[in-house]
């Protein structure tokens, strides 16, 4: 039986995303590119283990590289970082179509919004793509809620826009390092989900395809 993707090579590897056999070459080249691979695919897991053996670096043209995070910022605002990471993972768990590029686009837009806010101009950089906009909206709603609760409590330890910017940029950079650049990858999303193993909201639906 020939591979249904290339229609040339012999199919010899079961693809849980397609529910049929494909060839090893198409599995390697189309994985997380045209194929939305489930995270429990053994071939995907093996590919990710291989990627983990090679150090990834942030590209030189990455936005916000001029921003240097002050020492201690992440330790001081660890609850904020956890809240942003959890909210991102929650939205992406509910939206199986969400990818790492979608998550990065939403975080970048949020960082751009706060960067303009710090400069004295409030201009929201809301993404146009629906799933990216959903992630962005959920994060902005979280930040607004945290600010309102702090204001109601009268605490002096209020969230500052500069600190929010630093934390968002950190998550953005983490996404670049945890991802692999493939358009349909969810490596970073799965990493965020893994930070909250006890959260029921992050439990994904069990796969319906039974591996042969």
Q: Could you tell me the CA-to-CA distances from 186 to 35, 40, 44, 189, 206 in Å, in that order?
A: 12, 12, 11, 5, 16
Query: CA-to-CA distance for 193 and 195, rounded, in angstroms?
Result: 5
Q: Which residues of 54-64 are buried (b: 16+ CB within 10 A; e: fewer)?
A: eeeeeeeeeeb
**The dihedral sign for the CA sequence 27, 30, 32, 35:** negative
pLDDT category of residue 204 using cuts at 50, 70 and 90: low
Q: Could you tell me the CA-to-CA distances from 73 to 48, 68, 170 in Å, in that order?
A: 30, 11, 10
Query: CA-to-CA distance for 8 and 72, rounded, in angstroms?
Result: 56
Q: Given a cut of 60, is residue 146 above it in pLDDT?
A: yes
Could you tell me the domains of the chain?
A: 1-54 (3.30.40), 63-202 (no CATH)
More reliable by pLDDT, 74 or 174: 174
Task: State the pTM of this model.
Answer: 0.90
Query: CA-to-CA distance for 65 and 80, rounded, in angstroms?
Result: 21
Which tens digit of pLDDT belongs to each residue from 99-135?
999 999 999 999 999 999 998 888 888 999 999 999 9
């Amino acid at each position: 039986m020939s591979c249904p993707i290339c229609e040339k090579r012999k199919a010899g590897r079961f693809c849980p995303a397609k529910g049929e056999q494909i060839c090893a070459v198409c599995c390697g080249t189309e994985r997380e590119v045209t194929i939305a691979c489930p995270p429990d695919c053994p071939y995907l897991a093996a590919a990710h283990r291989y990627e983990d053996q090679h150090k990834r670096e942030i590209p030189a043209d990455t936005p916000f590289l001029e921003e240097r995070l002050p020492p201690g910022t992440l330790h001081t605002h660890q609850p904020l970082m956890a809240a942003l990471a959890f909210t991102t993972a929650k939205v992406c768990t509910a939206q199986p179509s969400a990818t790492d590029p979608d998550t990065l686009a939403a975080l970048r837009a949020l960082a751009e919004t706060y960067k303009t806010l710090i400069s004295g101009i409030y201009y929201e950089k809301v993404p146009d793509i629906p799933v990216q906009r959903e992630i962005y909206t959920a994060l902005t709603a979280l930040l607004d809620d945290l600010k309102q609760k702090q204001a109601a409590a009268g605490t002096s330890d209020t969230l500052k826009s500069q600190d929010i910017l630093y934390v968002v940029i950190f998550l953005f950079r983490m996404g670049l390092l945890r991802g692999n650049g493939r358009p349909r990858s969810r490596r970073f999303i799965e990493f965020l989900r893994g930070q909250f193993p006890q959260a029921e909201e992050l439990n994904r639906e069990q796969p319906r395809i039974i591996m042969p």
